[in-house]
Amino acid sequence: MILVLNAGSSSLKIEVFDENLGSLVSGRVTNLGTAGELKLGEITARIETRDHADALERMLAALAEAGYPLSRFAAAAHRVVHGGTILTQPARLTPTAIAAIESVIPLAPLHNPNNLAGIYALQKTAPDMPQYCSFGTAFHATNSDVAVRYAIPQTHHDAGIRRYGFHGLSYANMVADFGDALPARLLAFHLGNGTSLCAIHDGKSVATSMGYSPLSGLTMGTRSGDIDGAAVLRMSKSLGEDETDRMLNKNSGLQALAGDNNMKTLLERDDDDARFAVEHFCYWAARHAGSAIVAMGGVDAVAFTGGIGENAAPVRDRIMQHLSLFGDVPVHVIEADEEKQIARDALALMAEGR
């Protein structure tokens, strides 16, 4: 069995897979550092944790009680948000790989330290267990130089200011889900509270809407999506850097347009703000899609994944209305499953003897 871990800033999520990628059980610990909840399968308990290590210890105890002791696991696999330009493939967590993850913390200061906290905690608890990791940016490593380069001085490019792209594990899982039926030129949308799209040509990413950070691209639940740099500078002068960062990442997007980042609620509302927010979301998804289609040289099919992509048919329909000028192409809905992709990556590495 494979234990998949996703350590966030205030939560620890796990899922257990068998060797055939069947999901056996999933769980989470919430509100790390304070009173929270441990949920594993159908079991829920109120607990208080100190940190990631404490949360992992509690979760491992719950897994053992449910019949999944550490001794039954062949390996563990982790989600790491950012691999930079160094880590562009799934990897076994050796000291060298961990040092590389640590070196790109400046590119994801809010995410990689939490991912590492989960890695450190399991290393301490089970030092002999093989550990692997998959990166949210790696799928887009196949983008060309012209696709990732900002038109800025070389010194800043060399310092890491370039497009990376995110949601890569979701897109990789989509490609695997299609299997031999994968369209040659697939326009893929990951639509959730965070939203992006990806141009997938022959199974590889050639363009994506997110850039240096997950802030850019499509309109999102609480993120603005693309915004002129001069506007950001102006707001930063009046609000300060931290408040501008918070506003663009936490208080923008659908939240700013309609006072709610829940697409289900917006679709149920009957007011101008809600209708405008939904149309803004769909319009800009389609606008960015045009760019992705150019990057692929056409489009053979469209696929939607993520909470909105899978469940909001009116959003899918409106985006496809905008894209109707490209002809009548098949539309697919794919279940998002990053944890399954992480397990798939680990099993592949293990099969190679790594």
DSSP 8-state symbol, 339: H
- pLDDT, tens digit (0-9, with 9 covering 90-100), for 15-39: 999 999 999 999 999 998 888 999 9
The pLDDT value recorded for residue 81 is 93
Mean pLDDT estimate for the chain: 95
Domains of the chain by start residue, with CATH: 2-135 (3.30.420.40), 181-338 (3.30.420.40)
Give me the mean pLDDT over the 39-62 stretch: 92
Distances (CA, A) of 179 to 28, 156, 175: 30, 39, 7
Strand, helix or coil for residue 242: helix
- pLDDT, tens digit (0-9, with 9 covering 90-100), for 117-150: 999 999 999 999 999 999 999 999 999 999 999 9
Contacts of 319 (CB under 8 A, 6+ apart): 189, 282, 285, 286, 289
Sheet holding 2-7, edge to edge: 43-48, 35-40, 23-29, 12-17, 2-7, 75-80, 131-135, 91-92
Q: How many residues does the chain have?
A: 354
Give strand pairing partners of 47.
36
Strand, helix or coil for residue 186: strand
- pLDDT, tens digit (0-9, with 9 covering 90-100), for 299-343: 999 999 999 999 999 999 999 999 999 999 999 999 999 999 999
pTM for the full model?
0.94
- Strands (E) located in 143-231: 185-191, 195-201, 204-208
Give me the mean pLDDT over the 251-276 stretch: 97
Q: Is the pLDDT of residue 77 over 90?
A: yes
